[in-house]
Amino acid sequence: MEMIDRYIYAVTQKLPLSQREDIAEELRSLIEDMLEERVQGEDVTDNDVVEVLMELGDPRQLAQKYKGTKNYLIGPELFDSYMLVLKIVLISTAIAISITFIIKTIINPVTILDHFVELIVAFVTALPAAFGWTTFGFAISDHFGEINAKDLEIGTEWKPSDLAPIPDEKRQIKYYEPIVSITFYTLLIIMFVFSNEYLGVWIFQDGFSDVVPFLNNETYTTSLLFIILIMGIGITKECLKLIYGKWTSKLVTYIAIVNVISTIAVLFMINGNAFWNPDFLLELTQAGVITENSDGYRTVSMIWNQSTLWILVLLVVGLIWELIDGLIKANKK
Amino acid sequence: MKDANEYLDKLLQELRRGTITISVLSQLSEPQYGYWLVTMLEEKGIHVEPGTLYPLLRRLEKQGLLESKWDTEEARPRKYYLLSETGKEVYKLLIVEWQQIVESMSNVIDIKGGKMDGDD
């Protein structure tokens, strides 16, 4: 009878969440009715099940019939995740822009009008952009998902023995995990784009006076491109997790490729003096935070000089951990 | 050129799509479940795949022509469908339209058939 469960799962997992349970129950009672008629009071054999499922046909086609014809950009199986991601992206963008405005106003209240204009401009440009990119990403996944489904149909007769087992709970990816990560990446991008000049050590002398930036202002435009690229790769990775919904060896392979690419990009960006502010220690001393040749100076200078290495080590360890974790979950029986 | 049967299959499919809806509506003045409909229609010479009928029932329900209820009293829970008030009204209008179509179609086919016979 496990084959029936697999069949029902194969049909319903392609359908919107809200209808799944009802359709599953109705299908089950249909299959039982069909079996009953076939065996006429005898015991049901596996062969009977196979024949009944053959009569019902390819679960993908049945799911397609439940969905109706495709006249949408983002299909019902992705729509729930799309709406969720869209809300989160829009809300986090709006919050980040507002926080930027508040910080700028606190730091420099005289030019509040300028900050306000920036706020309006940011809202008008960033929100539609966030909306557009999210929609674009999901439309692309939907499109390629459809093509894959069609490729598989050509020339292959569907058999009940093709039915994949229902994935174990432990292999499933909780949908909120990728969503939390996507939010985090979005916030980081916005932080880097809109408030790079405040990314550093804040100096307070009679209130706020200056920032000693971590990053090199002269090369910031190039660095920003890299940062957006790396975050974009990260978002793509999380979207893959969201679409697959469970750990499979295929997903782990994709993530491995994506992780290698992002590590290379990070290495390329961070490795070199152009990324970090070359005068960081000098500026800190000038601002009076540390005095040269003191213990404090040596500690700060040690941390500053080794930070590149440690950031890389942490990053690589994190990415490898993600892969091992995925690999373990994908192979769980 | 394509095989005549290939054309026929495609056209028949289109033709059947509408008639199946009418057949389904015709049987649902009393609550019935999906598989009963499949067997009942089969007996009356109308062949419907369960894989076509079940999604159709759902669509008609969503459109408001049918209402549904789960019956869990019996050994096996089944979902029963029934014409809604709108459904009844639509069905009445559909029969009138259908009869007109049958009439006009037989007129059209008769004329064409006559001509073809003449050509032979």
How many structural domains comprise chain B?
1
What is the radius of gyration, based on Cα positions, of chain B?
18
- Range in A12-16, A38-42, A52-56, A290-294 with the lowest mean pLDDT: A290-294
> Model confidence at B119, in pLDDT bands (50, 70, 90)?
very low
Question: What is the per-residue pLDDT for A75?
Answer: 76
From A18's Cα to the closest Cα of chain B, the distance in A is 13
CATH number where B79 lies = 1.10.10.10
B70 vs A contacts (CB less than 8 Å): 25
Q: Which of B14, B42, B58 to mutate to test the interface with A (most CBs of A within 10 A)?
A: B58
- Neighbour count for residue A241 (Cβ, 10 Å): 23
Angle between helices B34-43 and B50-63 (to 10 degrees): 120
Whole-number Å distance between alpha carbons of A16 and A77: 5
* pLDDT tens track for A236-256: 888 888 777 788 888 888 889
Question: What is the per-residue pLDDT for A81?
Answer: 76
Return the residue of B nearest to A27 by Cα. B54
Across the range A252-271, mean pLDDT stands at 87
Question: What is the per-residue pLDDT for A145?
Answer: 64
Domain of residue B107 covers 4-119
Question: What is the per-residue pLDDT for A227?
Answer: 85
* pLDDT tens track for B44-78: 999 888 988 999 999 999 999 999 999 888 788 89
Cβ–Cβ contact A62 with B under 8 A:
yes
Question: What is the per-residue pLDDT for A208?
Answer: 67
Question: What is the per-residue pLDDT for B118?
Answer: 44
Across the interface, which of B54, B58, B70 has its CB nearest the CB of A30? B54
* pLDDT tens track for A141-182: 777 765 454 444 445 577 887 787 777 777 777 777 888 888
* pLDDT tens track for A70-111: 667 787 777 877 888 888 888 888 888 888 888 888 877 888
- Range in A172-181, A230-239, B18-27, B93-102 with the lowest mean pLDDT: A172-181
Question: What is the per-residue pLDDT for B5?
Answer: 85
B44: tokens are: 């009356």
From B10's Cα to the closest Cα of chain A, the distance in A is 17
* Contact between chains at A29 and B52 (C-beta distance less than 8 A): no
Across the interface, which of B51, B58, B79 has its CB nearest the CB of A56? B51
From A243's Cα to the closest Cα of chain B, the distance in A is 25
Whole-number Å distance between alpha carbons of A171 and A329: 5
> For residue A181, which of A258, A123, A118 has the smallest C-alpha distance?
A258
- Neighbour count for residue B87 (Cβ, 10 Å): 21
* Contact between chains at A34 and B35 (C-beta distance less than 8 A): yes
Mean pLDDT of chain B: 86
* pLDDT tens track for A274-332: 788 888 888 888 877 777 778 888 888 888 888 888 888 998 999 999 899 888 888 87
For this complex, say whether ipTM is above 0.90.
no
Question: What is the per-residue pLDDT for A146?
Answer: 58
* Contact between chains at B50 and A34 (C-beta distance less than 8 A): yes
* pLDDT tens track for A198-235: 778 877 776 666 788 888 888 888 888 888 888 888 88
